[in-house]
Amino acid sequence: MLAADLINQEFFAESITPQQLDLLLADGWRHFGTHFFRYNFGVHEFEIRAVIPLRIRLADFRFSKSQRRVIRKNADLKLEILPVHITPEKELLFDRHKLRFKFGIPDSIYDFISVDPPCETFEINASLNDRVIAASFLDIGADSVSSVYAMFEPAEASRSAGTGQKSKGIGLRGEARSPLPRRGLHLRSDGAEGALHRGRAWY
């Protein structure tokens, strides 16, 4: 990659419209709170990798066999879609979830989600016996949706609840006829390929 090809930009905004969010997502921008940024290279596990924004065109999307299996496996969970609201319960869930990571461990859920988001932001909560075991946070544009962060209870990892929530989010946005959800990031290295979802796993 030549220096002239490198992208590393940022700006801050207290508020943006759904239409502005669509344009930003289409141009490779993301945000955590009021901090908007885009870059096409990054360091992951001590390697410099190319960063490629990933998107899914909902009109062409079909659930895979494994995704349908995960959805059936989590049929006993109660799903709620609400405007974003960080509770002490979700803060503790985040603290347990982040222990899964060896690199780039965040300090707080507020590294990703602000108290007063600059755009319309919703959460999908999955609960078992009135206990939230997974939560995903989504920005909503006029014609697109972007996953900001996703977390789950490590003790319930066998459920693949994160995948189930992502699939549910894609399905719901498809029903709303939004054509392009923002799925996450792909990190490409010379020797191998890895996916890093900045939700860390929109997916």
Mean pLDDT calculated for residue range 176-192: 44
Report DSSP letters for 115-182, one per residue. Answer: SS-SS-EEEEEEEETTEEEEEEEEEE-SSEEEEEEEEE-GGGGGG-HHHHHHHHHHHHHHHTT--EEE
The two three-digit tokens of residue 14, written as one number? 């207290």
Task: Tell me the backbone φ, ψ of residue 26, rounded to 5 degrees.
Answer: -65, -25
3-state SS, one letter per residue, for 100-120: HCCCCCCCCHHHCCCCCCCCC
Q: What is the pLDDT of residues 111-126, one digit of tens each?
A: 999 989 999 999 999 9
User: How far apart are the C-alpha atoms of 40 and 141, rounded to whole Å?
Assistant: 23
Strands 35-39 and 8-12: antiparallel
Indicate the Cα dihedral angle 79, 82, 87, 91, nearest 10°.
60
Domain range list for the chain = 3-196
pTM, whole model, 2 decimals? Answer: 0.77
Q: What pLDDT does residue 4 have?
A: 63
**C-alpha distances in Å from residue 143, one per residue of 98, 147, 181:** 31, 14, 8
Q: What is the pLDDT of residues 66-81, one digit of tens each?
A: 888 888 888 888 888 8
Is the predicted pLDDT of residue 167 greater than 90, yes or no?
Answer: no
User: How far apart are the C-alpha atoms of 163 and 156, rounded to whole Å?
Assistant: 12
Is the predicted pLDDT of residue 127 greater than 50, yes or no?
Answer: yes
DSSP state of 98: G
Q: Tokens 């990190």, residue?
A: 187
Is the predicted pLDDT of residue 195 greater than 70, yes or no?
Answer: no
Domain range 3-196, CATH class: alpha beta
Residue 13: partners with Cβ closer than 8 Å, 6 or more residues away: 31, 34, 36, 118
Q: What is the pLDDT of residues 19-29, one digit of tens each?
A: 999 999 999 99
